[in-house]
Chains A and B, each alone.
Chain A
Amino acid sequence: MTEALSHMNPRMSQEAIPNTMEERRSYLAEGHSLKSWLTTTDHKRIAILYLLSITFFFACGGVAAALIRLELLTPAPDLLTNDGYNRAFSLHGIIMVWFFLIPSIPTVFGNFLLPLMIGAKDLAFPRLNLASWYIFMIGGLATLATVVLGGVDTGWTFYTPFSSTYSNGAVFMAITAVFISGFSSILTGINFIVTVHKLRCPGMTWGRLPLFVWAHYATAIIFVLATPVLTVTLVLVALERVVGIGIFDPKLGGDPLLFQHLFWFYSHPAVYIMVLPAMGVVSELITNAAHKQIFGYWFVAGSAIAIAVIGFMVWGHHMFVSGQSPYASAIFSFLSIVVAVPSAIKVYNWTATLHKGDIVIDGPLLYALGFIGLFTVGGLTGLMLTMLPIDVHVTDTYFVVAHFHFIMVGGSVSAFFGALHFWWPKITGRLYNDLWARISAMLIFLGFVATFGPQFVLGYEGMPRRYHIYPAVFQPLNVMSSVGALVLAVGYLFPVLYLLRSLRYGKPAGPNPWGATGLEWTTPSPPPKDNFETVPVVDKQAYCYPVGGRDEQSRPRTQKAKAGE
């Protein structure tokens, strides 16, 4: 261990616990064979399985994104044929949405942390949890199989009647893959809901739940209520495509808009599946970095539930130019403004939490701030899109592409990395080099803004999305975007390197390297198989950091620890 101390996080002041008995008996030591991993029912090990799988899928989707950005360097088709390009962005969308963004934070950190945060041994249904991972993997591998079958060219949105009648891609395989992965979402959602209801340790009342848990509870509700609609919709597309039953194609007597209503009834709430867990992460990171109680606990918790509920009523804002009734559009426009309110409440509360904090600016905080900045831009441009005449002009252009990437990629992926850095010591028992974490957090932020910032302008100037060949006037901004993407790719690669390095060379983390108050920090890092040696008893609010800053040592939230003072 040669890292200079100045590179270490000042929050890591606590004496590290060297290779203790606890560490050797950690969940990681419960078997090293492949079989022990593939048959595990330990939520922490399943979280690791998910982490490896979604990293793999993120890389696959990233390769497709690289092809897209490389192709768009020039207005002419150079690298890919028209069909090749269409297949690249379809694969990018399908993999990134269903096999990275939707599962990312819930299946990795939700899985790992929910039981730890509420003082439980495991999720309510450990074997169902493992089954969810297998179902997810079958779906993911089926998606990759479409590439072997010639690819799919419908976009991730599968709009009918193109997908059901006209496309010559492997549509059936692709929708089968998404159909399968839906069950993984549903089962994970059920597991989380039951866990939060039934497995909270003594004293862990609803009002004491960490906001991460509230966010995942809200997410789980969406998983369970929205996903079945997608499942049914995909079956209907398959029926039309394979059997020729007229549902969506007017030539067969169907209604093409029906598909869009059903699809967005799922897919808009799905956006909140991607962003709510990220918000939960940020609430944890901000409070810990500021070493301070969250500002407006109930408003932050309640707004998660409000987003989950109102999120079901805004799907029509994807259809302002689709031919739906203009009066329906007027109502959806209004409801979309309403759903922005709880998001705004959260952002303002995080800002207020920093007030009078004792703020350590380190890797996790920079990632969290990256989320807040990018989410704010993405959210407010979303507010612009609720204005009907603006939406009519920029919908289906790069403006929308930029908007949703700011939220789903800029925001959620930053939060994912924030979570990875914050809980990495808990998951692996090792500390990483925080200087590198800070550098890559800033690189990701700058690379992201450079990639997607110019796309707002491109969209307003009238460049439609999914354009392989484009007018030459759009080239300078596209080149900026592609160069930004290169920076972004490097930013995403850095953490892989220094985090992997920390596994071998990192300092042992000790149970609570950040001086955090959550229950997960009261158990060794990495935690033992059953998480806690004795059942924790909680007698305090979440985030009960000492008033007046870090001078007073913060106390863990359990009776036991209190008694041991």
Chain B
Amino acid sequence: MNAYGWPTQASRYAQHVDWLIGGFGLLVVALAAPVFILSAIYLVRFRHGRKVDRSDAERGSVLLETSWALIPFLLVIGFYVVSTRMFLDQQSPPDHALTINVVAKQWMWKFQHAGGQAEINELHVPVGRPIRLVMTSQDVIHSLYLPALRIKQDVLPGRYTQEWFDADKTGTFAIRCAEYCGTDHSVMGGQVIVQTPVDFARWQAQAGADKSLAQRGHELFDRLGCAGCHGANAQGQEGAVRAPPLVGLYGRPVPLADGSIVTGDDQYIHDSIMLPNKQIAAGYKPIMPPFGNVLNEQQVAQLEAFIRSLGAGEDK
């Protein structure tokens, strides 16, 4: 909060939200003003006992009714167009955004950077670079709320949601959980630490992850024996135990056994690991065991990073 009691704005978007609420606030005051002002005037003017002209009191007027229904409505719709565009623009992060993986659980926030750095309740990010948070929950619904950036997104179990921001101010800003999640909901918080690129690079080096997220995923891939079916290099396998290739899976359309086609995105990969029988790739038998009770969400994120790193290989 700044000296004037107005909450800190840590991004251009936050400023835009404040302009919106300021502008819309003025309209709202203008809409309320006739009610308060005219009521007060009428209460004084037409108080019982005052001698005033009360004749020709109208019992209704279609013109008045239409105008006080339509004029405010149209004014509000003007704001609706602006605000909805603002909201929809905010739905898709720019392509060069830095992706950070978020796992919420009762009652903490876990962050994993692509470089493998992991943090709890603290998130280091560079200033001036769009940051995309890909989030899921290990248990109940949480909500990652960054008041200084005016953004908030619920974090659901079994599903990825995302939010992004482009902080233009270095500093430490609050993270709060906004969706009630049980006993320690009110202390499920943390801080975003927005640093200059130099400081951020220093932090990255010092947080010293020896392995990147994808490398950890590769280790998991080996340790869990995924290669037994998907092949040592995840190239897929034919023969007695057939399993689809993972090379080239990311971002590609995947035909399913029921005839539909889905995109091989994070959500699809997540579900295929945790609940493999939900969507069966066309041409394969539903023989993969579910890993829902074996892996936590952070490990799934590592496997996804590994599969992403395999890139778009040759179609088989």
Residues of A bordering B, CB below 8 Å = 10, 82-83, 86, 153, 155, 157, 159, 161-162, 165-167, 249-251, 253, 256-257, 290-299, 321-323, 326-327, 329-330, 333-334, 337-338, 340-341, 344-345, 347-349, 351-352, 354-361, 369, 372-373, 376-377, 380-381, 383-384, 386-390, 392-393, 395-397, 457, 460-462, 464-471, 473, 547-550
Contact = CB atoms under 8 A, between A and B. Distances in A.
Contacts of A257: 156
A295 B77 CA distance: 27
B28 A380 contact: yes
B158 A251 contact: yes
Given A251-B292, A393-B17, A467-B185, A344 B153 contact: no
B7 interface: yes
A344 B185 contact: no
Contacts of B157: 161, 249-251, 256
A311 B178 CA distance: 26
Interface residues of B, number: 83
A341 B73 contact: yes
Contact of B176 (A83, A333, A344, A462): A462
Contacts of B68: 344-345, 348
22 contacts: A166-B139, A251-B157, A256-B141, A291-B48, A323-B161, A326-B88, A337-B80, A344-B69, A345-B65, A352-B64, A356-B57, A358-B48, A360-B47, A387-B83, A388-B83, A388-B84, A389-B16, A392-B17, A393-B151, A462-B174, A464-B176, A466-B180
Interface stretch (B35-43, B192-200, B226-234): B35-43
B140 interface: yes
B190 interface: no
A166 B55 contact: no
B152 interface: yes
A283 B31 CA distance: 21
A256 B73 contact: no
Contacts of B161: 323
Given A354-B42, A390-B20, A396 B186 contact: no
A372 B60 contact: no
B177 interface: yes
Contacts of A293: 57, 59
A372 B35 contact: yes
Contacts of A341: 69, 72-73
A387 B55 CA distance: 43
Contacts of B76: 337, 340, 383
B17 A162 contact: no
A396 B39 contact: no
Contact of A351 (B28, B35, B47, B48): B35
SS class of chain B's interface: helix, strand, loop or mixed?
A: mixed
Contacts of B46: 290, 354-359
B120 interface: no
B273 to A, nearest CB: 14
Given A86-B183, A337-B76, A389-B90, A295 B275 contact: no
Interface string B20-37: 110011001001101110
Nearest to A323: B161
Contacts of B154: 321-323
Interface string B171-188: 000101111111111110
Contacts of A351: 34-35, 38-39, 42
A241 B180 CA distance: 19
A82 B60 CA distance: 55
A361 to B, nearest CB: 6
A373 B36 contact: yes
Nearest to A357: B46
Nearest to A86: B183
B87 A329 contact: yes
Nearest to A545: B57
A392 B90 CA distance: 11
Given A321-B153, A321-B154, A380-B31, A549 B176 contact: no
Contact of A166 (B69, B177, B182): B182
B96 interface: no
Contact of A470 (B5, B90, B186): B186
A321 B54 contact: no
A162 B181 contact: yes
A152 B159 CA distance: 27
Contacts of B139: 161, 166
B64 A359 contact: no
B186 A468 contact: yes
Interface in B64-100: 64-65, 68-69, 72-73, 76-77, 79-80, 83-84, 86-88, 90-91
B87 A326 contact: yes
Contact of A167 (B21, B38, B182, B184): B182
Contacts of B255: none
The 5 closest A-B pairs by CB, nearest first: A250-B158, A462-B147, A388-B87, A356-B57, A354-B42
A250 B155 CA distance: 13
Contact of B91 (A297, A326, A465): A326
Contact of B77 (A167, A337, A357, A389): A337
Contact of A384 (B24, B42, B90, B106): B24
Contacts of A298: 60
Contacts of A347: 35
Given A383-B28, A393-B147, A464-B145, A323 B88 contact: no
Nearest to A159: B141
B61 interface: yes
A48 to B, nearest CB: 32
A467 B179 CA distance: 10
B1 interface: yes
Contacts of B32: 376-377, 380
Contacts of B179: 159, 396
Contacts of B35: 347-348, 351, 372, 376
